[in-house]
Structure 1
Amino acid sequence: MPSNRLSLSVGQAFVAPDRRNHRSSMSVRIPDEAGQFVAKGACAVISDTSSRNAIAKQAGDLSVRGFVADYFSTPDHWDVKTSATRVLRALNGWCYSQSTFVEGGSYVASLSAMVYRGRDAHLFHMGDTLVFRLRGAEFEQLSRDHITDLGGYRYPSRALGLDGSIDIDYMQLPLKQGDIFLFTTQAVRGTLMPSDYVGLIRQDASDLDAACERLAAAARERAQERGYGADQFCFQLVRIDQLPEAERDHPSRIYGDLPIPPELSPGERIDGLEVQEVLSRTAQSRVYRVRDTRTEREMVMKAPSPELSNRNAYLEHFLLQQWVVERVKSPFVARVMESSRPRRYLYYLMVYVEGMTLTEWALRHPQASLAQRLDIAMQLGKAIQALHHRDVLHQRVHPDNVLIDTHGQVVLTDFSACHMRDLDGHRRSRELARQTGLSEHSAPEYALDDNVGRRSDQYSLASTIYWLLTGELPYELSPDRLRSHTDLEQLTYRSARLFNPEISPQLDDTLRRALDPQRSLRFRRMSELLYALRQQEGRGKPRRRDPRRFLSEPANFWQGVAGILLLLLVLSWLLR
């Protein structure tokens, strides 16, 4: 492993005649992929149950396997506490619900999990499993024993699956090279003293498996001397062999400190990529259409502007763009590509989409039907929804950042303002959007320095849809020109039906709500907006009234009956 990365060693030992009947489970996972190891770290977990039934054994195994699998499946930009806490609460809810369907047992287990990331360790603890730290000659218990005495028996409390909601002990610890962490179970209580642990581990700390075997043998011997069973002991050791350099384990640094590419022109090459066309030159970035000379694939290269060499804050975000977007899997979002060669410069690659921007499409297709335009709107909404599912805000939804390929499929591009919703809070997201530039489709909160979030992207999407359907903007005053909250009073919604009579009142009301100047009054979720748009399929055409539906409505039914009776009365009067 590179010298600037965290390095761990592990050892384990069980004491059990039959491992299949052992009530304890433990595991350590150190990811092989460098990017995942930097983003998520490594973890060590131990679980123990107090019951002697098969269900108890399953609870221990499932809790360990479930935590390890689910923790490393959480979004990479979530911090350790957020990821582990959400996983443990989900596991707790599942175990608690499963216990209601079984008899003679329950899915209840004590669990301790420690995540090692960067220069810190994060401990999550429930129940009575034991976690110790050996630093030099100091041996300290880090976990708390949550135990309840009932009728002379001791049971774990605040354990996984014991209740529908759970309190999780959390502790963040700075690491030192040489720290050794011991994970074991409550069964070892009364066997070894702190001095025994220190002596047996230090006897030969280079082989942690052997150290665990020494601990297990000594605990078993001590238990037998005192006349109780020693078939449920387990020991797990984790040693910190090397710490990363300070502040280097950050997702924006996964790709290293590479130089910015120089200004490129068609025909020039860089890392085996030949520039075919300059697509964009801005103060912040350069975008090129390139061809890989080895694979003949055409791609889009985005690189920072050469003038930004000293703007480290922007460069960190530039690296973060690829790190974020490559985790979004959607046919409606531009896909990040890997180069066939190692990179010597700072840039990232995306799939080249042959097509036109939404602005160009609207100019070339003025006679497109309302249904066609709404289909584009739905695809664009799905693209933004895919970003939101990964807690990413796009923040630059605009017709010029939407491509329509030759098959009529929407592809969302330009991630220069994209930001992870939970990484640095609202302020960083808003500042980034303002730095890259606001547009007439930006939500009012960006101009007014208010909190931003998913509903801000919802506003930009609705504004783009409004423009696509009408060719106009929903407000006479562009939101990016707001200067104070009093200016919000000037934002009076202009009905879309004024510019396009084919738009139904229901669709107009949907757009009106998504475009509300007050963020809290918009749709709560993007899915609600998409559902409302989906209900408008076939719109623009007057719908025939179904006579069966007419008669099924009570008021209409009795009105019809009254009319018939009136007609019969008139006929009887005329026939006299």
Structure 2
Amino acid sequence: MGHAQLLISYGQAFVAPDRRLHRSSMSVRFPDAPLLKVKGGCAVISDSVSRNTLAKQAGDLSVRGFLADYFSTPDHWDTKTSATRVLRALNSWCYSQSQHVKEGGFVSSMSVIVFRKREAHLFHMGDTLVFRLRGAEFEQLTRDHTTDIGGYHYPSRALGMDGSVDIDYTHLGLKQGDIFLFTTRAVRGTLLPSDYVRLIRQDVSDLDAACERLASEAKQRAQERGYGGDQFCFQLVRIDELPEESPDDPGLIYGDLPIPPELAPGERLDGLEIIDVLSRNAQSRVYRVRDVYTEREMVMKAPSPELSLRNAYLEHFLLQQWVVERVNSPFVVKVVKPSRPRRYLYYLMQHVEGETLRQWAERHPQASLVQRLDIANQLGKAVQALHHRDIIHQQITPDNILIDTHGQLILNDFSACHMREVDGHRHSGELLRQIGFNEHTAPEYALGDSTGRRSDQYSLASTVYWLLTGALPYQLTPNKLRSHTDLEELNYRSSRNHNPEIPPELDDALRRALDPQRALRFRRLSEFLHALRRPLGRSGQREASLQEPRRHFWQGVAGVLLLLLVLSWLLR
């Protein structure tokens, strides 16, 4: 009879005079049932190249970093996509850190197995070792990537060694009773395959004891051969039970959660009472809700009940929550953890008391250029925070931006956002095409060209132009383009024609950020944001210079009044 979930046992052992100086690190993590079903469990080992204080950090950081980030990837990403993206991001971080270190670096060999359902997914870089013991068959699953320099072997293709990394990927079927052994290159020349089988099989009921036997014998053999035996580590993982076989169900991809039904004010879902329906469209429903236990007000976003599980938007839906969770900015709305387990597919965000940027502009037609530029700069910081996390927003418009009661801007809609691919590939905006273009959409989306961060730069600049002038930069809006020849009809209308207060250099910056040709816009968003900040500094100086004479006048008046008060007291 099959079992509902995957069950494993594991054991570990180190040989080291001082564990704190050990260059290797290893860990096993099997989460609780809901996450285990979607993401599986992981066993990881890393072995640093360096022999200095950074070595231990490199090993520990790579293991901790992988386990933290892998289990945080979107539920609808498959195992290979999730692990590969996390390892590439980790490699980029380790490589960048190594550039600031004079000796050694954050370089380490690493092997990971993700156990999910009835399968094992092995990811490998460098010269760490993974073996499988199945019955009497003992097999090495990893390849040694090493370079021989002066008689010493050094790992190649290791984590953090280069800006990009090649990852060996192996997909294996699991059998009940399979035992996987993780160890490091230090064990080479000590134990034979027959030794491994004998020492593990001696008593498989206690895997920690089996690891201790392996470590003890490896150390003894190393000392007999006259070399150091103080850097050994062993980790064993045994498959105790396998889940029953079941065909892939699209529902499982989304955590097995159904789409919520249509909800109305007064109705409840998972202890959340619907207060108001904020929006309804073909893709989603947005509700203002109150937690009946904590009384906290929040915003719930759920897919539209009409969507099928195969819909491209639904596939993207869980990415939205994952995106917002990773961005830490006061100008980006925050995700709220539900106080109880979810029984339906939705996510919760903080409730912001305020109005959209469009509503704010309608209510404040007399707002000064300085006030409007301050909002523009806040919006720029929000977009920059997304870009720092390799997230492209794709739909920056006045209706997706809130201004709270304190005048702070909050970017609050992520329906079209996507992750910029690690390898530099850009999506061409199929999702945005499904949701719908708007008057601030960059021309390349309508024309089906490649898109990226500079596409967000266009939408940001278009929204800022509208905020400063109340108009649009082109007579023909880019979302109406039909062919590349239509680009010639996009003739920029100077913002100074609508608002003479705008300095010429700011108008030039807007013109460049709004160039129909993506390649001709600012190379970095920070260059455009710098141009937005400059008038604020000048306005502040001008206001200060205007206030200076006024300050001297009132100081003079105060001095005369004080003198008259003293004279009246003396003449009494």
Give the TM-score range, shorter chain: 0.7 to 0.9
Counterpart CA distance in 2 for 1:90 and 1:389 is 13
Larger deviation, residues 318-327 vs 519-528: 318-327
> What residue is the counterpart of 1:112 in the other structure?
110
Deviation at 1:463, TM superposition (A): 0.5
Deviation at 1:72, TM superposition (A): 4.5
Larger deviation, residues 488-497 vs 241-250: 241-250
Q: Deviations over 1:527-557 (max 9, x none)?
A: 222122111215679969x9xxxxxxxxxxx
> What residue is the counterpart of 2:524 in the other structure?
525
The one of 62, 67, 79 aligned to 1:67: 62
Is the alpha carbon distance of 1:391 and 1:41 closer, same or farther for their aligned partners in structure 2, counting shifts above 3 Å? farther
Counterpart CA distance in 1 for 2:412 and 2:149 is 60
Larger deviation, residues 468-477 vs 330-339: 330-339
> What residue is the counterpart of 2:139 in the other structure?
139
> What residue is the counterpart of 1:81 in the other structure?
84
> Given that residues 421 and 429 in structure 1 are in contact (C-alpha distance below 8 angstroms), is that contact kept between their aligned partners in structure 2?
no
Counterpart CA distance in 2 for 1:12 and 1:249 is 36
Deviation at 1:471, TM superposition (A): 0.9
> What residue is the counterpart of 1:400 in the other structure?
399
Counterpart CA distance in 2 for 1:293 and 1:167 is 49
Q: Counterpart amino acid of 2:57?
A: L
- CA root-mean-square deviation: 3.6
> What residue is the counterpart of 1:419 in the other structure?
418
> What residue is the counterpart of 1:479 in the other structure?
478
Counterpart CA distance in 2 for 1:175 and 1:510 is 55
> What residue is the counterpart of 1:286 in the other structure?
285
1:18-417 matches, cutoff 5 A: 18-20=17-19, 24-30=23-29, 32=31, 42-47=42-47, 56=51, 58-72=53-67, 76=73, 79-88=82-91, 90-91=93-94, 94=97, 98-100=101-103, 111-116=109-114, 118=116, 119-126=119-126, 128-136=127-135, 137-140=137-140, 142-144=142-144, 146-148=146-148, 150=150, 153-156=151-154, 158=156, 165=162, 170-178=167-175, 179-223=178-222, 230-241=229-240, 256-309=255-308, 311-417=310-416
Unaligned 5+ segments in structure 1 are 50-54, 101-105, 547-576
Deviation at 1:354, TM superposition (A): 1.7
Counterpart CA distance in 1 for 2:144 and 2:455 is 44
> Given that residues 85 and 422 in structure 2 are in contact (C-alpha distance below 8 angstroms), is that contact kept between their aligned partners in structure 1?
no
> Given that residues 426 and 453 in structure 1 are in contact (C-alpha distance below 8 angstroms), is that contact kept between their aligned partners in structure 2?
no
Unaligned 5+ segments in structure 2 are 75-80, 546-572
Q: Is the partner of 1:486 in helix, strand or coil?
A: helix
Q: Give the count of matched residue pairs.
A: 528
Counterpart CA distance in 1 for 2:106 and 2:334 is 43
Counterpart CA distance in 1 for 2:164 and 2:303 is 46
Q: Is the partner of 1:214 in helix, strand or coil?
A: helix
Larger deviation, residues 26-35 vs 7-16: 26-35
> Given that residues 253 and 316 in structure 1 are in contact (C-alpha distance below 8 angstroms), is that contact kept between their aligned partners in structure 2?
no
1:554-565 matches, cutoff 5 A: none
> Given that residues 392 and 456 in structure 2 are in contact (C-alpha distance below 8 angstroms), is that contact kept between their aligned partners in structure 1?
yes
Q: Is the partner of 2:121 in helix, strand or coil?
A: strand
* 2:485 matches 1:490: no
> Given that residues 157 and 166 in structure 2 are in contact (C-alpha distance below 8 angstroms), is that contact kept between their aligned partners in structure 1?
no
Counterpart CA distance in 1 for 2:526 and 2:6 is 41
Larger deviation, residues 76-85 vs 340-349: 76-85
Is the alpha carbon distance of 1:269 and 1:189 closer, same or farther for their aligned partners in structure 2, counting shifts above 3 Å? closer
Counterpart CA distance in 2 for 1:47 and 1:86 is 19
Aligned sequence identity (%): 58
> Given that residues 290 and 300 in structure 1 are in contact (C-alpha distance below 8 angstroms), is that contact kept between their aligned partners in structure 2?
yes
The TM-score with structure 1 as length reference comes to: 0.80
Deviation at 1:60, TM superposition (A): 3.3
Counterpart CA distance in 2 for 1:26 and 1:354 is 47
> Given that residues 276 and 287 in structure 2 are in contact (C-alpha distance below 8 angstroms), is that contact kept between their aligned partners in structure 1?
yes
